[in-house]
Amino acid sequence: MATNPWAAHPLVRNLENVAPLTDASKKALAELAMQVVHVEADREVLREGDRATQCCVVLEGFMINYKVTKKGERQILAYHLPGDIPDLQSLHLAVLDSSLGTVTPCKLGFVPHKDLWEICAREPDVGRACWRWTLIMASIYREWVTNVGQREAPARIGHLLCEIVVRMETMGLAEGRNCPLPLTQTELADATGMSTVHVNRTLQELRNAGIISWKDKTLSILDWGRLKRIGEFDPGYLHLREREEVA
């Protein structure tokens, strides 16, 4: 399978991680017609309230899903890596309930809903993978509610860092415990519901304890065991290794 040319396509690679796909499905996914657009860093791509008729596939770069409160505070809801379809739910929920933006410069592919409906109907395993992917996202949201609702600062930051590293590794974007982390402390703050000042001080604690290092947009986990413990991180909610166990 890995020798197939389609396997290199980020979308194929991502959905294959979610559920097994037939060769026909992989081919069809890789050959989906996309309108490719390059977007610079820190741009809003879709806004809460917009009505979608197409989906956005991340081909290169790092995106975020977020809401803005009445008081102007931003809550980041998810990070999206290449291969993700951040607005896949718009297939069924046409009106967006959150916004989508770039963190780094991104290469995006837009696919009409119609084409996605067709491929889901023609290749049932693609439909299954898509549904399953949205369910995994829901599971991640549940974990985030818990993170923000119950854990204190070091655990919140620790948990988030663990999640990012694991997801990066799954997509082959991280080696060992080193991983690109093109985020600002402000973005970490908006994801964990903390002030930037507090994030800064919490990161210093983790650094001074020799648990992480983070410079030049690269995060290194120096003591994975301790970070996991501090962040109460158990990767079960990512549902990574259940593929073969499900019908």
Partner DNA sequence: CGTACAGTTGAGTTTATTCAAGAAGAGTGG
Partner DNA sequence: CCACTCTTCTTGAATAAACTCAACTGTACG
**149-178 mask for DNA (x: CB under 7 A)?**
---xx-------------------------
Candidate residues 3, 51, 70, 216; the one interacting with DNA per rule CB under 7 A: 216
Rounded to a whole number of angstroms, the minimum distance from the CB of residue 227 to DNA is 17
Rounded to a whole number of angstroms, the minimum distance from the CB of residue 202 to DNA is 7
Size of the site for a copy of itself (CB under 8 A): 48
74 binds DNA per the rule CB under 7 A: no
Candidate residues 1, 8, 138, 197; the one interacting with a copy of itself per rule CB under 8 A: 138
CA angle 78, 84, 85 (to 5 degrees): 90
Q: Which stretch binds a copy of itself (CB under 8 A): 33-41, 79-87, 142-150, 167-175?
A: 142-150
Which residues, numbered 117-136, are part of the site for a copy of itself (CB under 8 A)?
A: 117, 128, 131-132, 134-136
d(CA 70, CA 189): 18
Whole-angstrom CA distances from 23 to 4, 26, 50, 133 are 9, 5, 35, 19
Rounded to a whole number of angstroms, the minimum distance from the CB of residue 218 to a copy of itself is 26
200 binds DNA per the rule CB under 7 A: yes
Contacts of 162 (CB under 8 A, 6+ apart): 227, 228, 231, 233, 235
With respect to a copy of itself, which residue has the nearer C-beta, 36 or 197?
197
197 contacts which partner out of a copy of itself, DNA, none, CB within 5 to 8 A by kind? Answer: DNA
d(CA 105, CA 128): 31
DSSP track, 63-94: EEEEEE-TTS-EEEEEEE-TT--TTGGGGT--
Closest CA to 161 of 220, 77, 82: 220
Helix axes 124-150 and 113-122, enclosed angle (nearest 10): 120
d(CA 176, CA 198): 28
Binding footprint of DNA on the chain (CB under 7 A): 152-153, 184-186, 193-198, 200-201, 203-204, 216
